[in-house]
């Protein structure tokens, strides 16, 4: 199993004042440093989210940062988790990704999703109701762009191209893998049908529920003749002791989950009927949190249950922890957790 790191692009609290140019530039430096430290610590990949139209998102566009990582790193996968193709012209997106794949000598993995936030669509002037058709057509167009060697045409519901040819092609034959992020059954079935992998961040889904989703994905991947590949994302923190990890990260994650709950962005969970239910004691089981041995145990439990092929960890949320603590966490995770999962590699 490979293990990646997500340098989260939230650089401040929700609904903060618009950041200054100095703060934004400094945050970019922080993101670059986290990526370099994660590669040195032994992580296998760097994966970026895509968010827009929010003041806390201080580096909204993943593609420029992917380009920076391509020049600042030499070994790790460089990916998204997830980019939303419905906001893009698919030929332009295919060209940009091909260039980064060439720059990195074939290290790009493109995690993609339909998109869920109406404000993001409004920002770019696209109809939220067209997101599924734009998504499916975009994937087909990008794959053709990366493989067709003669001029070709495409006429769909959302996109029309005549006599086009993308050059140069990506480093990877056929283009980078397309992982599809999906949390609900119809989207998971789509991931099996169209994707080179399926990605999930089960905020507070149980292991049993996530296993059912993984089984559903594998069923539909098999029907489509695709080799299944499961990507699991987890939030968490490692520290010398469980108490320190809980003290540093626990309250931040409770506040994060409360934010999602208040905005009705989470699936139903019978354990949580009001804001009073949001305690570290009740939420602890949904994180990778504690001393190194605790993290190893929790990761093993999750990844073996669902058969994960790639794990992506996130150690930073809008409210923190502080940058120097995040770097220490990355280094300790690399030194004392990752080696456990590489012994048989």
Number of folded domains in the chain? Answer: 1
Number of helices (H), then strands (E), in the chain: 11, 11
Dihedral angle, C-alpha 218, 224, 229, 233, nearest 10 °: -70
The residue whose two tokens read 């060439």 is: 102
Separation between Cα atoms, residue 185 and residue 65, nearest integer Å: 32
Among 243, 310, 254, CA closest to 282: 254
pLDDT at 310: 98
Looking at the DSSP assignment, which residues form a beta bridge with residue 314?
235
Q: How does the average pLDDT of the chain come out, rounded?
A: 96
Examine residue 278 and state whether it is found in any structural domain, yes or no.
no
Q: Per residue of the chain (345 residues), give pLDDT as tens.
A: 999 999 999 999 999 999 999 999 999 999 999 999 999 999 999 999 999 999 999 999 999 999 999 999 999 999 999 999 999 999 999 999 999 999 999 999 999 999 989 999 999 999 999 999 999 999 999 999 999 999 999 999 999 999 999 999 999 999 999 999 999 999 999 999 999 999 999 999 999 999 999 999 999 999 999 999 999 999 999 999 999 999 999 999 999 999 999 988 888 899 999 999 999 999 999 999 999 999 999 999 999 999 999 999 999 999 999 999 999 999 999 999 999 998 654
Burial (CB count within 10 angstroms: exposed 0-12, middle 13-18, buried 19+), residue 112: buried
Q: Look at residue 256 and tell me if it is in a domain.
A: no
Residue 35: give the domain boundaries: 2-249+289-341
Whole-number pLDDT of residue 51: 95
pLDDT, residue 266, reads: 87
- The answer to whether position 9 is within a domain reads yes
Report yes or no on 271 lying in a domain. Answer: no
For position 35, which CATH number holds?
A: 3.20.20.30
Query: Is the residue at 280 inside a domain?
Result: no
Residue 47 lies in a domain: yes
Quick check: 200 and 210 in contact, CB under 8 A?
yes
The whole-number pLDDT of residue 265 equals: 82
Q: Is residue 275 domain-resident?
A: no
Its sign, for the CA torsion 320, 323, 328, 333, is positive
- Tell me, yes or no, whether 283 lies in a domain: no
Predicted confidence at residue 344, as pLDDT, reads: 57
Cβ atoms within 10 Å, residue 12: 17
């Amino acid at each position: 199993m490979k293990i990646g790191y997500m340098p989260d692009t939230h650089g401040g609290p929700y609904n903060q004042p618009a950041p200054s140019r100095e703060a934004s530039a400094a945050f970019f430096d922080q993101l670059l440093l986290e990526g370099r430290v994660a590669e040195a610590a032994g992580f296998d990949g760097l994966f970026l989210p895509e968010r827009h139209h929010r003041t806390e998102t201080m580096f909204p566009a993943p593609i420029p940062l992917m380009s920076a990582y391509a020049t600042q790193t030499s070994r790790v996968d460089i990916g998204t988790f997830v980019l939303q193709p419905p906001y893009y012209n698919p030929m332009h997106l295919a060209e940009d990704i091909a260039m980064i794949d060439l720059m990195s000598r074939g290290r790009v993995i493109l995690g993609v999703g339909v998109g869920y936030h109406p404000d993001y669509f409004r920002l770019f002037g696209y109809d939220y109701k067209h997101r599924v058709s734009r998504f499916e057509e975009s994937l087909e167009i990008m794959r053709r762009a990366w493989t067709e060697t003669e001029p070709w045409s495409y006429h769909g519901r959302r996109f029309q191209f005549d006599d086009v040819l993308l050059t140069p092609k990506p480093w990877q034959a056929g283009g980078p893998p397309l992982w599809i992020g999906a949390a609900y059954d119809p989207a998971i079935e789509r991931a099996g049908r169209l994707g080179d992998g399926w990605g999930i961040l089960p905020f507070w889904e149980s292991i049993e529920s996530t296993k059912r989703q993984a089984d559903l994905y594998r069923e539909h991947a098999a029907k489509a003749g695709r080799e299944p590949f499961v990507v699991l994302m987890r939030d968490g923190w490692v520290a010398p002791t469980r108490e320190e990890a809980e003290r540093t990260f626990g309250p931040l994650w409770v506040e994060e989950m409360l934010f999602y709950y208040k905005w009705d962005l989470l699936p139903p969970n019978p354990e949580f009927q009001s804001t009073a239910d949001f305690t570290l004691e009740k939420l602890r089981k949904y994180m990778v949190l504690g001393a190194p041995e605790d993290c190893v145990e929790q990761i093993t439990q999750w990844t073996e249950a669902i058969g994960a092929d790639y794990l992506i960890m996130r150690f930073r949320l809008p409210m923190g922890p502080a940058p120097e603590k995040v770097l220490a966490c990355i280094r300790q995770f690399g030194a004392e957790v990752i080696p456990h999962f590489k012994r048989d590699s």
